[in-house]
Chain A
Amino acid sequence: MSSNGVSLSGLVQPDRVHRSLYVDAEIFEREIDQIFGRAWLYVGHESQVPNPGDYITTQLARQPVIMVRHSDGSIRVLHNRCAHHGSMIAGDRCGHVESLFTCMYHGWTFRTDGSLVGVPVPEDYEGTGFDVRNPRNGLGRVTRVHNYRGFVFASLAAEGPEFTAFAAGALTGFDNMIDRAPDGVEVAGDCFRVIQHSNWKIFLENMFDNVHPRIVHQSSARGAKNAQQRFPAGAANHVSLETFQLLALDQSFMQRLEIDNYPWGHSNMSGFVSPRGEDAESLAYEAVLRERHGKERAEQILSRNFHHTMLYPSAVLQPSFQQLRIVKPLAVDRTQIDIWLFRLKGAPKIVFRKALSYAIGANSPSNMVSADDFESYYRVHQGLAGPGSEWVVLSRQMGRDLVEDGTVRTRVGSSEASQRNQFQAWRRYMTDENGDPR
């Protein structure tokens, strides 16, 4: 496949990428199959399906799926498509069935492992070659499913790396959030669902762009500063206001950030907002963690502060603020982001209040920060639609990274090492039919 006469592989160069990666609809369709159709994608969290028969629905690449708790307690990922005529078996975002799914169209029934139980007029199929008495003729199953400490991931590819080998260093971010919870984590309510009018990759690149904040978010920072001077309350629900002000500090503040990048396009970035507090509730929480983990281990967990952990291409986690953003590309210029909040069970309320303040302020449909990010994504996408100028430059701090065992480390926040790493993974997904990035 080619675009403007350039091979796909040639569209990603060490220091720049071609504009068609963002705006070419054919390339987008190929990404859905080659990247989203093969990578390990986030499906859901086990706390959403606590009891047998509980389910949620979502979509992986082009495939609608049901994540359901089976009667044996395991979590299954099934195609949300009747084995008969194709109707979605579950029409809502979540629900519960008493042991069987029943198709609303012709009444075919299935167990929560997908196996076929019954059809309305079984004799219709006698001698036709379709065996309605074989339970295996049921719902399609996603066989490569991994439950990582409660977080359920799936890959639609028949073969590929195991989940833990794929996720590699990105797991340290998930571990950190889970380890912060005295009694485990759970999803807190429903998610925010927002649309960006831009290509999905523009969003993931921006997660690790530490030059834009003081330009793009200057108005939010000034607004927050003036508001706090006028209403100096300093409650937990003003964590967002304190954070906004950090976005517009001198560039030297962002330069301190460290980013580690891994083979399948994943990245970890250190944090610039500490979730720790000196108030009684926060100190009591730290005491509980010390009780659970021991003093040394608890300090290790609490002092490890990630801003973002990205599991390319579908998930961006903010471990310190218990927020998980899921990328769902809808079209070349249209991207849905689902934003989930998690509760650290056993932690005092203030921990969740801070996460909530941060999430509503920065990422909800009403947010005061991403509104300007979305504007920049939109303008980037529109700018790149023009054919006259072809390349996007990604060479900040190029050649100054530390490479150890396949991990690319940068100790200068403004480096575009993550963006370059994302596109190296992109190139391998898109050009290697086996899907092996190394």
Chain B
Amino acid sequence: MTTETKQFGYYPGCELRTRAKALDCSAQKVCRDLGITLAELKEWTCCGGLVPQVKDNYMGFLAPARIFLEARAQGLDSLVTLCAFCFNTLRRASFFLARHPQVRARLATFLDVEGLPEIKVLHLLEVLRDHIGFDRLRQAVRKPLDGLRVGPYYGCLLLRPAQEIMLDNAEEPTLMESFLKALGCEVVDFSRKTDCCGSYHIVTNGEIAGRCAEQILDSAGESNVDLLVASCPVCQFNLDWKQSQANHTNIPVVYVTQLLALALGEPVDTLGFSHRAASMLPAA
């Protein structure tokens, strides 16, 4: 549908090559269908998993700095991400480094390079909104997901802190809603859509992670959604983990790009949906 091809750097991150292959694979299909060229970084490393929030801790900016250097070495000035952890970490690092020349200089000295480049860190949803536009996206949809009741689950990392992330309003976001409407879905609002899933407490404190996930699922369940849609492998894991325990809701959590690929006409069996999720989708 597009006449021009747009090129962006692509930073998949660890989850997309292991647990969240469906996110990677569906995103690549979507970009191919929409004329977005993703140039994957040749040598990418871990994003560092969240930036430090203490003034004198620069360690957490090293991994992003290396990634930005790698992007520059390949002549890229932007990086598209999908995983909310990678997005948040790289976007905040980019924001912080742009405003702290002394830290930038210190990291450059440590890494033995002349200086650190400014790389624009984007989320694919943002690329769809700002470079394709949801009206054009709607026109590209070949198989509208009519009647599918979808709850947009943002979680924390796509939105907060709003003054650094600047993707959408942190309390009343509309990005996923507009995106899902373009696919023909029925967007179902639920009160806990920007709540935290418990994040890394899944490692150290199952009680907190469980409670967080439970409240989100209960809220989505009360709104009677068919599916929850997310862009974070950890959110998906935590919500699925809670639901694997007895007597709980059974709401499939799928990725934004899986639904988009489906709406663009990609065959459902190539998109990595779970059985349960596939059973909720409109018949082909």
Check if A and B associate. Answer: no
**A interface with B by C-beta (< 8 Å):** none
**B interface with A by C-beta (< 8 Å):** none
